[in-house]
Copies of this chain bind each other. A is one copy, B any other.
Amino acid sequence: VIRIALDAMGGDNAPHVEVEGTALALRELPPTFRIQLVGRTADVETALKRHPGIDRARLDIVEAPDVIGMGEKPLAAIRGKPRSSIAVALGMQKKGASDAFISAGNTGAVMAGATLILRLHTGVRRAAIGAVFPTAGHSVLVIDGGANVDCDARELVNFAHLGSVYARDVLERRDPGVGLLNVGEEEEKGSAVVQQAHQLLKAVAGLRYLGSVEGRDILTGQCRAGRVDVVVCDGFIGNAILKFYESAGRMFAGMLTQAFPDVLGRPEATELLKFLDYSEYGGAPLLGIQGVTIICHGASPARAIMNAVRVAGQMVRSRLNQDIGAEFAGGGAVA
């Protein structure tokens, strides 16, 4: 059984979307999943009234009376509200009563909470967000997707290791190719930090480091040195490109809809519009902490919550957390 704690109070439409996502997950995912809805019991029960057919035998409701708002300062909120849904759910995972945590709430608070309560793996300097970019071919993991805006070279090397283990365990890539985002492929290109990271990555063991990749290589999943599975960058750039990509998908969907209204009924159109809609995707893992945490968009619909539950299950089953610990334990991954 995989026990997934879901922040019932996170997200723009909590707890309704979370409860609906739970209903979907319990219906569509294998019976090994058990969902722990963490939040205000009364609110959760009210939301559950809309889903009379839900499988209550695989559902726990865990009381957490406090809510951390989207605008609250992360660290102060986590410290000041130990009975918040975020703190309670992470505490359950810490003491072994839960296997994974999913929240569409305050991203900063989830990061701060995970780092404070679950702690980082030894050798990891900062947790990073892994953003899986859907493409026409294989998906590509961009790390950091927004957790750290100013990164030094050693942190970028950390991200390369975290991304590589995630690509192996969850994206099921045998020998993941890791590229460093840069403005060109030549040795002398790039910012000071990126040049330094490049030198460190060339010397590191246990990674298939491809060298520099460019912005165009993310969606092709290819660079001169081969197939790209992971792209390493600081969280400022990762966040900007991720949000840019979401908006590009919306823009193209709008253009398609406007230019060819007559094809929209076809299954190919449904498929393509689904691909272009970022809200279909299931959140982003927070990597480097001892545990499993997934951060979802505040505006996630129920289907995205369900997809996050599915991904959390893959993370647990593949023993990603243990594998990350092992990657850093030898010291080889510590730049």
- Taking a contact as CB atoms under 8 Å apart, the answer to whether B248 and A245 are in contact is yes
Q: Is A334 an interface residue (CB 8 A)?
A: no
Number of residues of chain A lying within 8 A (CB) of chain B: 47
Chain B residue at smallest Cβ distance from A235: B183
Q: For the complex, what is the distance from the CA of A215 to the CA of B233, rounded to whole Å?
A: 15
Q: For the complex, what is the distance from the CA of A252 to the CA of B219, rounded to whole Å?
A: 10
Residues in chain B near residue A214, CB distance under 8 A: 239-240, 243
- Taking a contact as CB atoms under 8 Å apart, the answer to whether A248 and B248 are in contact is yes
Residues in chain B near residue A218, CB distance under 8 A: 244, 247
Q: Is A237 an interface residue (CB 8 A)?
A: yes
Instruction: Tell me which of B135, B183, B263, B272 contacts A240 (CB under 8 A).
Output: B183
- Taking a contact as CB atoms under 8 Å apart, the answer to whether B243 and A215 are in contact is yes
- Taking a contact as CB atoms under 8 Å apart, the answer to whether B220 and A247 are in contact is yes
Chain B residue at smallest Cβ distance from A236: B191
- Taking a contact as CB atoms under 8 Å apart, the answer to whether B272 and A268 are in contact is no
- Taking a contact as CB atoms under 8 Å apart, the answer to whether A136 and B244 are in contact is no
Chain B residue at smallest Cβ distance from A278: B216
- Taking a contact as CB atoms under 8 Å apart, the answer to whether B263 and A149 are in contact is no
Q: For the complex, what is the distance from the CA of A310 to the CA of B194, rounded to whole Å?
A: 37
- Taking a contact as CB atoms under 8 Å apart, the answer to whether B192 and A150 are in contact is yes
Contact with B along A211-254 (1 / 0, CB 8 A): 00011111110000000000001011101111111111001101
- A190 to nearest B CB, angstroms? 6
Q: For the complex, what is the distance from the CA of A64 to the CA of B187, rounded to whole Å?
A: 31
Chain A interface helix/strand/loop/mixed: helix
Residues in chain B near residue A271, CB distance under 8 A: 259
Residues in chain B near residue A263, CB distance under 8 A: 260, 263
- A291 to nearest B CB, angstroms? 24
- Taking a contact as CB atoms under 8 Å apart, the answer to whether A272 and B251 are in contact is no
Residues in chain B near residue A252, CB distance under 8 A: 248, 252
- A300 to nearest B CB, angstroms? 16
- Taking a contact as CB atoms under 8 Å apart, the answer to whether A240 and B181 are in contact is yes
Q: Is A269 an interface residue (CB 8 A)?
A: yes
Residues in chain B near residue A237, CB distance under 8 A: 236-237, 240
Q: Is A255 an interface residue (CB 8 A)?
A: yes
Instruction: Tell me which of B135, B240, B259 contacts A251 (CB under 8 A).
Output: B135
- Taking a contact as CB atoms under 8 Å apart, the answer to whether A241 and B268 are in contact is no
Q: For the complex, what is the distance from the CA of A231 to the CA of B244, rounded to whole Å?
A: 13
Q: Is A146 an interface residue (CB 8 A)?
A: yes
Q: Given known contacts A183-B236, A217-B247, what 16 new A-B pairs fall within 8 Å (CB)? A: A135-B251, A136-B254, A146-B183, A149-B194, A190-B236, A215-B243, A216-B247, A219-B247, A219-B248, A244-B244, A248-B252, A255-B275, A256-B256, A260-B260, A260-B263, A260-B268
Q: Give 3 nearest A-B pairs by CB, closest first.
A: A215-B243, A215-B244, A215-B240
A-B contact pairs, 17 of them (CB 8 A): A146-B183, A183-B239, A191-B236, A194-B236, A215-B244, A216-B243, A216-B244, A216-B247, A219-B251, A220-B247, A236-B237, A237-B237, A240-B241, A244-B244, A245-B248, A255-B272, A256-B272
